[in-house]
Every structure is written in structure tokens, then in C-alpha cells.
Amino acid sequence: MFLYNPIHQVIVCQACGSCIIPGRSGQERHLRRAPHLLSGDVLRATLTRFSTYKLRTLQQLQEHKPQVTDKCSIIPYLTSYAGFYCPRASCRYYCTQHLPDMRKHVASAHQLQAQCHSHQSPLWQACRLQTYFIAIGRVDYFIVVGGVGGRVGTEAGTGVGTGAGAGAGAGAPNRHSSQGHRQSANREP
């Protein structure tokens, strides 16, 4: 049910499709909530197991967030989303699930009109996104490659040049900015 990922130094909750916030209080809060509803000896044993893992803090996760050039493999059991990123390094590779937000981004950050977007001269690129956390205020997308191992979340849009895309449906995390890394994981029973 829980997967420790030693590369990213996070615990992925397979049932929720997100990482568990590091630190005992965040872990306990997660484990007590549905769908887990852990208590008593099972809760204590799980928290004890979690305490043996080397986990990054929230700040360290931000500092070591995968970059576009890392070509981060999809993290198993972490939900992935169809999305878009701005290929300009000057804006730190802004990412979003929502095409209307990308259009606003290129207009405000780069003073470019979205209708100038084309296959020959793309203003954004379609990509696969993941975020460690889906709680409001914690969403921070990064770009991943490959399609095996992760859960698929709400689809955000279609191809690079079409300009077509739907908004995120229920359950999709709030949009934010981001970047890409590598993956490996040890599965926990």
C-alpha cells in the first residue's frame, strides 16, 4: 500500500496516488484518514516503519525537484496528469494542466499571443506531469517521461498544436508551476 522511493526520498501512498507529507504528524494524519483509517498497533507499526526511511523535508523536495533536463521517469503509483509546459528556461518551465492558464502565461510572461502557437514555432509543449502532493497549496508539478507505473489522473488537454483542451475535472489538483528527474522504488507490503 505504501511505496518508499529512495531516489526522490518520499513515501507514495498507492491508494491515494500522492506522497505522504514528511514528518510524524503529517504521516499520522494521512494514515488516520480514509481510505486507510489506521489506529492502534497497526498505526504505530506503520509510523515506526516510516521512521526508518530517509525522507526529504518539504523544503528539500522543492530544492531537489526534478528539472526538465533530468528526464524524470514516471514515479510508480503517483498520479500523473496530461499537461503543458513553457519551454523557456527564463520562467523556470512553468507547468499547468489547463491550456487556458498556459495561454495566459505566454501572454503575460512573454508578451506573446497564444494564436502564434504552431507546430513549427511552439509556445508550449504537451507533457506528462506529476506532483508529490495534491493538497491545496502543495501542488508543484514536474515533468515526467514514460507512461508505465503511475496512475493516470484527469486529462487536461490534447496535442501541442491544436489549442484544444478541457479543464480538469473533479479530483484534479490545483494548478501550479514546475520542472523533471529519475525514479526507482522499493515496494512496501
Give residue limits of the domains in the chain: 2-62
- State pLDDT tens for residues 110-134: 998 888 898 888 999 999 999 999 9
Banded pLDDT at 148 (limits 50, 70, 90): low
Cis preceding-peptide flag for 87 (omega within 30 of 0): no
175, pLDDT greater than 80: no
1, pLDDT greater than 70: yes
Q: Which residue has the higher pLDDT, 152 or 47?
A: 47
Across 68-90, average pLDDT: 90
pTM: predicted TM-score of the whole model, two decimal places = 0.75
d(CA 2, CA 109) in angstroms, rounded, equals 39
User: Between the CA of residue 149 and those of 24, 78, 139, what are the distances in Å?
Assistant: 27, 8, 20
Residues whose CB falls within 8 Å of the CB of residue 167, separated by 6 or more in sequence, listed in order: 98, 100, 156
| Span of 4-8, 27-31, 45-49, 86-90 with lowest mean pLDDT | 86-90
